[in-house]
Structure 1
Amino acid sequence: MEETISLKEIFDVIKKRIKLIIAITVVAVLVSAIISFFVLTPTYQSSTEVIVNQKPTDPAVQYSVNDVRLNVELINTYSQIIRTPRILDGVIEELNLSLTASELQNKIAVTSPNSSQIVIVTATDTDPEMATQIANTTVSVFQREIPVLMNVDNVEILSPAITASNPSPVSPNKKLNIAIALVLGLMVGIGLAFLLEYLDNTVKTESDIEKRLNVPVIGVISHIDESDIQNSVANFSQNRKNRGA
């Protein structure tokens, strides 16, 4: 016969192991807070925007749809070129960075929102000022090198990166880390509570005897400790005195 567990039994298990659940949750939150505040190094991001816009040879000629489409198609190529050693080595040289092109590549992300003609170059670093310099220098070197590489001059800086007066790190997200640790701590604590309950084979109640031995309970012998005996003797003596009086 398949065993079922009622909602009351679930609450009873949680209530029985509530101290264990709370302890595991508190430890998880404390570990997460310590790691987030004191172990992980905060990192900052800074972004600069450039626009890909081919300059017409004849000022009297207006841009056509084909010109715009060509510029948009070039963005994928430009996104790859920005992160190549040809550009990054120039950034390393100008900023005198003690990084390789591969290491600097991991600090730079290039995106183009909604397939527009705008390219966003985002740099990440533990120093907010350095993140700004990397973003701006990368775009500057790219703008200088692209006419040589592709014989085009269609890149203009739209919005240079700036460092905020009070920059906020993008990672670690301390509140999110603590919230995740809280949820995981509760899940682990509750799971461990039910595991311990499942592994506990001791007989505690009359129903346990009926379930395990499949026999009815005829009687129950109560547990009596020494204090109960002393109290009973004291009460008996007091009653005899009262009757004698």
Structure 2
Amino acid sequence: MKLRDFLAVLRARWLIILLCVVAVTGIAAALTYRQTPIYTTSADYYLQTKVADPTNETTGGTYVLTSSDLNTYVAVLNSDTVMGPLREKLKRDPGAPIDASASITGETSIFRITVRDPDPQRAAEIANEAGEALAEAADTFTGLLQVTNSKVFAVPVNKAGVPGTPTSPVPSRNLGLGFLAGLLVGIGIAFVRHTLDTKVRTELDIRPISKEPMLGEMPFEKSKSELVTIDRDPHGGYAEAVRRLRTNLMFVDVTTGRHSFIVTSAMPGEGKTTTTVNLAMAMATTGGRVLLIDGDLRNPSVAKTLGIEGAVGLTTVLLGQAEAGDVIQRWRDSELYVLTAGAIPPNPSELLGSEPMRELFDKLAHEFDFILIDSPPVVPVVDAVLLDRLTGGTLMVVASSRTKKRDLASAVKQLDTVGAKLIGFALNFVPVNESDARRYGYYRFQESPEESTGQLRSVPRSLPKPHGGKSRASGRGGRRSAKKV
């Protein structure tokens, strides 16, 4: 995973990370507040031996403590032999805990006793008395002291002072560790969620499935209609996104030279028809004659979306019951022409893959500057593959937070298997809010009263034939200028 992909996951799952950081840091703060403060202090002693009774004739000389003896004293500091007398001297309960530890400074006989206690005054008292208690019990653990008539004395080197601040807990450290732990947990959960998420939400989810480019992202606003948005609101964010998709598609068209594409999706309900209709409208504003064909002979939706007659159309022409010019309808006074699906046939795949379909498409390709075909979804049926052979490539519409990754992967695999030309993706239903408006080109203009009400003009049912069978070159001379939708 590249750094850009890593940052994209963090940006997409930032709320999870934030909640984890707040939760773990809050837990750390609560535990710190509830934890009893512990004060730590230390006292240093020099351990030496002296003859206990100089008049005793059995003495064989003063015994010298060895490193083994000192290590023994470190180990037995917390034994009852040492701590029992210490508790009695400090007038503490026999079972009262004492948290003390000892260490030796280098190769010397300097003995450091460190005490931790919730009471700073008591911690200092224990540290200042523990050395003497250990010295009194030393002969119990070193038998040669009695043989040599020697006794261990603890000479104070540095007395323990009363600590002013607790050594535990440390709020800044605990909160810092809580923040880092929350951050790591949040990032971990974010990537687990990203890995286990079954739906496509951003371009990052498409990249592992296909290397083809993202040609456009269409925003989704609940407050606005999804149908014919570019016609209702020509200066809105959705319209700008469609025009951006149109521009990118034109660059792809330069490489294909076919001037025609099909628009499909992996599964139904992902907005392919709405995208195709609005894309065709945007293309018609560039001055070229654009033909929109409803190639979904199983569930045609173009006529319903545009509010035009759909009883006759593509199937009517393929059956030889009418000429293409008789059934192609012009969208208002624009340069967009529509060939609806017509009656639903019992054999859609056979019709779309037939020789009459190829001949019809070749004829239409000479009469129009650009052709868009609304195709059925790829996963359920094979129709999109058959139509791809006629055009310059396939544009795949992906619905954000709706399309499943496995369905998209299956669709891409099917297209690759038959050698279909997948040119790129259009991400539909991208969530957008006011703060994101600038991402989709929200640049408002003065609207006319008709535009502000969102009313559509009536659609003529009787429309002129495209070019009347003339060639593309001869037809351009009589073309009326395109009107911005």
Q: Does TM-score exceed 0.5, indicating one fold?
A: yes
- Quick check: 1:89 aligned with 2:57? no
* CA shift for structure 1 position 168: 1.4
Alignment of 1:207-222 (within 5 A): 207=206, 212-213=409-410, 214=413, 215=415, 216=422
> 2:280 matched to which residue of 1?
none
Paired amino acid for 1:31: I
**Following the alignment from structure 1 to structure 2, what is the Cα–Cα distance between the partners of residues 218 and 76?**
75
Provide TM-score, normalisation by structure 1. 0.73
* CA shift for structure 1 position 6: 2.8
Q: 1:109 aligns with which of 101, 104, 109?
A: 101
Q: Is the 8 A contact 1:48 1:160 kept in 2?
A: yes
Q: 1:75 aligns with which of 60, 70, 84?
A: 70
Aligned residues: 213
Q: Which has the larger radius of gyration?
A: 2
- Quick check: 1:139 aligned with 2:134? no
Q: 2:28 aligns with which of 29, 32, 35?
A: 32
Q: Is the 8 A contact 1:46 1:122 kept in 2?
A: yes
Q: 2:178 aligns with which of 173, 181, 194?
A: 181
Alignment of 1:123-202 (within 5 A): 123-146=115-138, 150-151=145-146, 152-155=150-153, 156-164=155-163, 167-202=164-199
1:26–1:222 CA distance, 2 compared to 1 (3 A): closer
> 1:7 matched to which residue of 2?
3
- Quick check: 1:23 aligned with 2:19? yes
**Following the alignment from structure 1 to structure 2, what is the Cα–Cα distance between the partners of residues 205 and 89?**
70
**Following the alignment from structure 1 to structure 2, what is the Cα–Cα distance between the partners of residues 53 and 84?**
21
* CA shift for structure 1 position 158: 1.8
**Following the alignment from structure 2 to structure 1, what is the Cα–Cα distance between the partners of residues 173 and 183?**
16
Of Structure 1 and Structure 2, the greater strand share is in 2
Q: 1:42 aligns with which of 37, 41, 46?
A: 37
Paired amino acid for 1:46: T
**Following the alignment from structure 2 to structure 1, what is the Cα–Cα distance between the partners of residues 427 and 83?**
84
**1:72-130: CA deviation from partner (whole Å, max 9, x where unpaired):** 442112223433212211111111212427x33xx110111223210011111110111
- Quick check: 1:100 aligned with 2:95? yes
1:220–1:189 CA distance, 2 compared to 1 (3 A): closer
Structure 2 unaligned residues grouped into runs of 5+: 53-61, 211-407, 416-421, 430-449, 458-482
Q: Is the 8 A contact 2:77 2:101 kept in 1?
A: no
Q: Is the 8 A contact 2:41 2:160 kept in 1?
A: yes
Paired amino acid for 1:41: T
Q: CA RMSD in A?
A: 3.3
1:231–1:96 CA distance, 2 compared to 1 (3 A): farther
**Following the alignment from structure 1 to structure 2, what is the Cα–Cα distance between the partners of residues 21 and 29?**
12
Of Structure 1 and Structure 2, the greater helix share is in 1
Alignment of 1:57-68 (within 5 A): none
Paired amino acid for 2:182: G
Which moved further from structure 2: 118-127 or 22-31?
A: 22-31
Q: Is the 8 A contact 1:53 1:71 kept in 2?
A: no
Q: Give secondary structure in 1 for the equivalent of 2:9.
A: helix
* CA shift for structure 1 position 212: 0.6
**Following the alignment from structure 1 to structure 2, what is the Cα–Cα distance between the partners of residues 154 and 83?**
18
**1:103-161: CA deviation from partner (whole Å, max 9, x where unpaired):** 33xx1101112232100111111101111111122222233444677342342222222
> 2:471 matched to which residue of 1?
none
**1:160-202: CA deviation from partner (whole Å, max 9, x where unpaired):** 22214xx111111222211111111111111111111111112
**Following the alignment from structure 2 to structure 1, what is the Cα–Cα distance between the partners of residues 12 and 179?**
20
Higher RCO structure, 1 or 2 (CA under 8 Å, sep 6+): 1
Paired amino acid for 2:106: N
* CA shift for structure 1 position 70: 4.1
1:168–1:80 CA distance, 2 compared to 1 (3 A): same
**1:16-40: CA deviation from partner (whole Å, max 9, x where unpaired):** 111221121122112111211x211
1:222–1:90 CA distance, 2 compared to 1 (3 A): closer
Q: Give secondary structure in 1 for the equivalent of 2:44.
A: strand
